[in-house]
Amino acid sequence: MAAPRVPGSGDERRLELPCGETLDPHEIDLGMREYTCACGTRHAVVTDVHPPSRFFPESLVAVLRETIDTDDEFEEFGTPHLMGVVLEEFPDRVVAFDASDDGAVGYTLVWVTDFDARRLHEIVVELVVELMEHAISHADDDDAVSEFETQMLEFDVSEFVEQYRRQRDFESEHDRPV
């Protein structure tokens, strides 16, 4: 009997996707943000090399670094934390692959999701808003809390994602991590 396949384990050279198809991690290059799959849909691809500014502005990244404590091997809040939150929320729809022992790829970690890059972007922004709400609810400053809540009532996630993706020209192959 064949050993069970463990997605993400170091000696598994085929990454099993949530849809049931497989992907060779060596096919993933650092510029890839979406993978057109044999199942007929596109899956978002994120590597640890992609900065969080793939999803939102550097100014917000800075705020998150200030407010969120990380107690793991990563020095500061970054893409692995974002994808960790997504994975926690959608355990059946995200696969992670550890390529740290593979010198042939330029990344250490890669995540592939069942949903496409645009939907992932919305999910990441929604989860970050929740993280910030949680962080700010512990603040002593009631004014800050209510101001934040007011801003969030007006905040339209899909509108933000639309604009941000247009600004950063995500479909362009010339887009580079900043």
Query: Considering only residues 23-52, where is the footprint of Zn ion by CB under 5 A?
Result: 37, 39
Nearer to Zn ion, 39 or 144 (CB): 39
Compute how many other C-beta atoms are within 10 angstroms of the C-beta atom of residue 98: 15
112 forms bridges with which residues in the sheet?
A: 45, 95
Q: In whole angstroms, what is the distance from residue 82 CA to residue 87 CA?
A: 9
Q: Does 85 bind Zn ion (CB under 5 A)?
A: no
Both tokens of 97, joined, read 């692959």
Q: Does 62 bind Zn ion (CB under 5 A)?
A: no
Query: Considering only residues 124-153, where is the footprint of Zn ion by CB under 5 A?
Result: none
Minimal distance, residue 114 CB to Zn ion, in Å: 8
Q: For residue 147, what are the CA distances in angstroms to 60, 141, 142, 150?
A: 16, 10, 8, 5
Q: Does 60 bind Zn ion (CB under 5 A)?
A: no
Among 12, 19, 68, 126, binds Zn ion (CB under 5 A): 19
Nearer to Zn ion, 19 or 152 (CB): 19
Sort 2 into a burial class: Cβ within 10 Å, 0-12 / 13-18 / 19+: exposed
Nearer to Zn ion, 37 or 68 (CB): 37
Residue ranges in contact with Zn ion by CB under 5 A: 19, 21, 37, 39
